[in-house]
């Protein structure tokens, strides 16, 4: 895969490296689970050593990806099942004590729909740190201390996002930070149909080519779990994929020896991608589906429910809906 082709998904990087070499990567392990009845695929990519980290361009850690077209659809029953599966996987990434303090951070710009996932998730989080003794009798002993923060983006606040999170963390001293962010994908089929969780932290805006301070255990002083959904795809990648399909179709329709067709079909993917970027005259254009407004609302509910039932032992999605609404 060309280093220029942008993706935040560990599974896509691993797929590309495997396609190029045809061999497994030292330091990268993968486990695949599939629920055919629900149409859910779970890939667990674990980077175990520095060789794997260098090959993947990502830190050592676990990267769990859940894929399902049902995520995009208006299907509340399946969304609840997805939340339960994600909550179970989240519990395997970090063992929380019953009195743990958790800080949930909604990264992104609430005024730009494809980037508003984090802030929208925080709107549906069952924040409980402030309740103290005011917890309803039926929920006593079932809640952890959870706070939700939406720090905004540096273009609006003028402050590095990591600095805001670090300042709040020093004050409330969480045992765990969970950061939610919108991502970029390599494959259009994964847009709004994939959820990735990782215990390696997050680099806000990395998929879009922005360089912000990382939010991870080293910078925050406590473990950081990242939850993300790819909501955009690089425009040049979209054109490149379209050209792949076009060339495949034309290969069956055109006579052999067509000079232009031969030239395009023999170009390396990275060269073709760079050519497309030059033609577009824009290396910073990203595309999102037209129904993104509705899908972001569904995704935010799925992720919020995942966190609510994962972080508060003994409560259900019905309990969350009762006390949030």
Q: What is the pLDDT of residue 278?
A: 61
Query: φ, ψ for residue 320 (rounded to 5)?
Result: -60, -50
- The packing angle between helices 317-324 and 292-311, to 10°, is 110
For 200-239, the three-class secondary structure string (H helix, E strand, C coil) is CCECCCHHHCCCCCCECHHHHCCCEEEEEEEEEEEHHHHH
- 37: helix, coil or strand? coil
pTM of the model: 0.84
Q: In whole angstroms, what is the distance from residue 242 CA to residue 234 CA? A: 13
62 within 8 A of 199, measured Cβ to Cβ: yes
Helix/strand/coil percent split, the chain, to 5? 45, 20, 35
Q: In whole angstroms, what is the distance from residue 235 CA to residue 291 CA? A: 17
Which domains, ranges and CATH numbers included, belong to the chain?
10-237+283-324 (3.40.50.1450), 238-280 (no CATH)
Q: In whole angstroms, what is the distance from residue 307 CA to residue 136 CA? A: 20
Closest CA to 6 of 236, 278, 320, 316: 236
* Tens-place pLDDT, residues 239-287: 766 666 666 655 655 555 555 556 556 666 666 666 666 655 555 667 7
* Tens-place pLDDT, residues 43-60: 999 999 999 999 999 999
* Tens-place pLDDT, residues 129-157: 888 767 777 777 788 999 999 999 888 89
Q: What is the pLDDT of residue 164?
A: 96
Strands 145-149 and 176-185: unpaired
Residue in this structure with the two tokens 């179709």, named with its chain if needed: 249
Average pLDDT over residues 65-76: 92
Q: What is the pLDDT of residue 269?
A: 64
Average pLDDT over residues 169-188: 94
- Residue 138: count of CB within 10 angstroms of its CB: 10
Cα–Cα distances (Å) from 221 to 172, 180, 226, 238, in that order, read: 13, 18, 15, 39
Q: What is the pLDDT of residue 207?
A: 47
Q: What is the pLDDT of residue 281?
A: 55
CB-based contacts of 188: which residues, under 8 Å, 6+ apart?
Answer: 233, 238, 241
- Give the least confident one: 60-64, 87-91, 236-240, 296-300: 236-240
308 within 8 A of 125, measured Cβ to Cβ: yes
């Amino acid at each position: 895969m060309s280093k220029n082709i942008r993706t935040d998904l560990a599974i896509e990087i691993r797929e590309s490296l495997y396609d190029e070499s045809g061999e497994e990567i030292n330091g990268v392990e993968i486990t695949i689970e599939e629920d055919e009845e629900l149409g859910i695929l779970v890939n667990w990519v674990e980077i175990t050593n520095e060789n794997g980290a260098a090959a993947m361009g990502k830190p050592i850690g676990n990267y769990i990806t859940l894929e399902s077209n049902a995520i995009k659809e208006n299907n509340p029953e399946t969304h609840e099942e997805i939340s339960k599966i994600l909550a179970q996987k989240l519990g395997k990434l970090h063992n929380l004590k019953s009195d743990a303090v958790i800080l949930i951070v909604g990264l992104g710009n609430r005024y730009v729909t494809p980037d508003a996932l984090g802030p929208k998730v925080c709107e549906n989080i069952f924040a409980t740190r402030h309740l103290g003794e005011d917890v309803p009798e039926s929920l006593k002993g079932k809640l952890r201390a959870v706070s939700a923060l939406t720090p905004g983006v540096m273009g609006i606040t003028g402050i590095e996002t990591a600095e805001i999170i670090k300042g709040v963390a020093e004050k409330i001293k969480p045992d765990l930070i969970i950061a939610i962010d919108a991502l970029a994908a390599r494959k259009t089929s994964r847009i709004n149909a994939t959820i990735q969780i990782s215990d390696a932290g997050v680099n806000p805006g990395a998929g879009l080519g922005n360089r912000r301070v990382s939010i991870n255990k080293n910078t925050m002083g406590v473990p950081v779990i990242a939850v993300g959904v790819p909501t955009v795809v690089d425009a040049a990648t979209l054109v490149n994929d379209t050209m792949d399909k076009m060339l495949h179709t034309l290969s069956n329709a055109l006579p052999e020896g067509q000079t232009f067709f031969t030239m395009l079909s023999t170009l390396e993917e990275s060269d073709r991608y760079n050519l497309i970027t030059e033609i577009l005259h824009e290396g910073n254009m990203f595309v999102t589906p037209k129904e993104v407004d509705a899908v972001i609302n569904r995704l935010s509910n799925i992720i919020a429910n995942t966190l609510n039932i994962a972080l508060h032992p003994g409560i259900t999605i019905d309990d969350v809906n009762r006390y949030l609404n």
